[in-house]
Amino acid sequence: MFRPPHETDPPDSVRRRRLFVRRRSERAFNMTSGNSQADRRLAFALALKAEGDYPGAASALEQALELAPDWAAAHFTLGEVREAACQRDAAIAAYAACLVRDPEDEMGASVRLALMGATPMPAALPEAYVQTLFNQYAPAFERSLLGNLSYRAPRQLGEAVESLIPAEARWARVLDIGCGTGLAGEVFRGRAAWLEGVDLSAGMVAVAGRKKLYDRLETAEAVGFLVDLADASYDFAVAADVVIYMGDLAPLFAGVVRILKPGALFALTTQRGEGEGYLLGGEHRFSHSVPYLRRVAAGAGLEVALLREAACRTEKGRDVPSVVCVLRKPVPAKEILAGSLPPGRRSGSREPGSMPV
């Protein structure tokens, strides 16, 4: 595991760590400047940054930018160094320069600017940033999430749904939104005659595909993907820890309610926020308050079937406050009178200990 060198480290240990930092930086940005001297300056700057030498790192980055002035990665790293050194205005300038050169924002410069208060809070994280992050993360995703972060959102969603729908009930069509590597698919595959997954990251979809869980997998942005689906065509939808990368949930909820059949459920998890809305945190994830979830669900025409406080994962050894939420598309009165409730629906049921609905 990488750790900053200390005074007793021999020189070869420092060199090995600096080589590790350089290789990590190349993977992280998936690009070079095209100028070998500038590349070496960035690698050296990252090593100095890891050691806490921010003035030295900034100097090396300025040298790199003299050689490659349009290199977005160097501008971004300079922003990180200036921010770590509490040089707010200089950090903002560097992130803004990165964004000019990387308008799709693969590195997340706009996220840094928003967190520093230099720009308004975004409605969602940049697609290119999320895509890049999870393409890189995909090979180690499950090992990290399950082994290090005690991730349990899919299991908690399964338990929440089972409190509303008998375990023996089956669905014709299920949609896993933000399917990732298929962890939620593993929980709900047994209920689904047809299981479909969509994720923004091709790397994550590739891992999910190797599990042979899904009948269809697509690489796409979730809200845009929903637009092309038929009305009232799915019996269940799930989004396990997906909306933490979205702030404004209204477009997603509107898309989901349209494609669900009457009486169908939509189960999701998010980080629990305070107040009345949503907030972007320093860990680059959104939290949503319970009043916000209720308000957006009602605005989309969804009923709250279950809201439960939970801890879907840990971070730095502490539980992350979360919410398990199950929403239901209402059944028109004429269908209720005709006796056409979806199979297995328990009208008015609620898990003991969940928030009142």
51-to-9, 19, 65 alpha-carbon distances in Å: 12, 14, 21
Place of tokens 């409730």: 341
Contact 129, 107 (CB under 8 A): yes
Residue 33 has what pLDDT? 86
DSSP 330: P
- Helix or strand holding residue 101 (H, E): helix 88-101
Would you state the pLDDT for residue 55? 97
**Which residue has tokens 């169908």?**
264
In CATH, the number for domain 11-120 is: 1.25.40.10
| 318-328 and 303-315 strand pairing | antiparallel
What is the structure's pLDDT at 19?
A: 38
> How do residues 243-252 score in pLDDT, each as one tens digit?
999 999 999 9
Q: Looking at residue 176, what is its pLDDT? A: 98
Domain 11-120 matches domain 138-337 at the CATH topology level? no
Query: In the prediction, which pLDDT does 238 show?
Result: 98
Which segments in the chain show pLDDT lower than 70?
Answer: 1-31, 334-357
Distance of alpha carbon 41 from alpha carbon 70, whole angstroms: 15
CATH of domain 138-337: 3.40.50.150
pLDDT of residue 9: 36
* In the chain, domain spans: 11-120, 138-337
pLDDT in the model for residue 15: 39
pLDDT (0 to 100) of residue 91: 98
pLDDT at position 353: 38
Q: Exposed, middle or buried, 30 (CB in 10 Å: 0-12/13-18/19+)?
A: exposed
Cα 61–65–68 angle (5° rounding)? Answer: 135
Give the pLDDT score at 149.
87
* SS3 assignment, position 91: helix
Let me know how long the chain is.
Answer: 357
